[in-house]
Amino acid sequence: MKRILVALGGNALGSDPSSQRKLAVKTARALLPLIQQGNELIITHGNGPQVGIISLAFESAFSPMPFPELNAMSAGYIGYHLQEALANELRRTGGKQEVATIVTRVEVSPDDPAFLNPTKPIGPFYSRAEAEKLAKERGYVMKEDAGRGYRRFIASPKPMRILESESIRALLEAGSIVIAAGGGGVPVIKKDGLYEGIPAVIDKDFASALLASLLGADYFVILTAVDKVAINFGKPNQINLDVLKASDARKFIAAGHFHPGSMLPKIEAALSFLEANPKGAALIASLEKAEAALKGEAGTKIIL
């Protein structure tokens, strides 16, 4: 029996409620063999499109919802779809494991330099006049994004501590499959000994790496839209990598081979997991090749 943390990419979830439910079933079926082999399984996921959907719904019907609440809502909403899909697949195939979703708080430092330069766009696009009004009335940081208009930007601090890690461990050891750290978790800071949520977003891969390290996972598996890590991606001289040494990964990062918005955080998260948990293994693969990657037949294995 192995302890496996699987971090789902956005392609596993879709961008609207209808496609999300269908893709949750597809995801459950892809992960089912890992459970049937007797492994302990933790699942994490992103929440970018879903946060935007919930935010727009509240803005049109009520008043703006604070971002920590948006994050928690999306974690519950996505977690429910994954939980139901996994539970149904288990029942369909004779499995008896329970599936639990944990809304997960993740402590960050209020002094994290990320707060000085918010880099994560959220929500819809606005005109310049609308953006200036939002900045004045709500204190939002508004920036032009992709030449399509202005969006709200929030900080992306590094995760320091996962507050529910021992609850997650207890559920795993009781035989449950656990869905946790949805959207990177709800960022919180400690103030006068108490925790409070803040408007920020933690990269889901960094949060997943921290959780995998805290739980002593044997495998940290990042599932994405491609089958392997590649250098010269999308070019005629693209090279797919079966194995990626940490030293080579750092050289490729310095050379700009990995895009900051896609593969770079995945590579960095895998490296941070291995540094904290040298006996573990880090894999990057597509959802369809998850089982094969764990057998060494697909994906990219990252090693120290």
Active site residue 228: no
- Separation CA 210–CA 276 (nearest Å): 9
Active site residue 38: no
- Separation CA 72–CA 181 (nearest Å): 10
Q: In this structure, what token pair is assigned to residue 58?
A: 């509240």
Catalytic residue from among 71, 185, 266, 277: 266
- The residues, any chain, with a CB within 8 Å of residue 74's CB and separated by 6 or more, are 47, 50, 51, 54, 182, 183
Active site residue 120: yes
How many CB atoms lie under 10 A from the CB of residue 263?
Answer: 21
Catalytic residue from among 10, 182, 185, 280: 10
- Separation CA 154–CA 17 (nearest Å): 24
- Separation CA 156–CA 150 (nearest Å): 18
Q: Is the dihedral of CA 260, 145, 142, 196 positive or negative?
A: negative
- Separation CA 175–CA 39 (nearest Å): 10
Q: Are 171 and 157 in contact (CB under 8 A)?
A: no
DSSP H or E segment with residue 42: strand 40-44
Active site residue 235: no
Q: In this structure, what token pair is assigned to residue 166?
A: 């021992």
Active site residue 266: yes
Catalytic residue from among 79, 204, 228, 280: 204
Catalytic residue from among 2, 11, 158, 190: 11
Catalytic residue from among 2, 26, 95, 120: 120
Active site (catalytic) residues? 10-11, 120, 204, 266
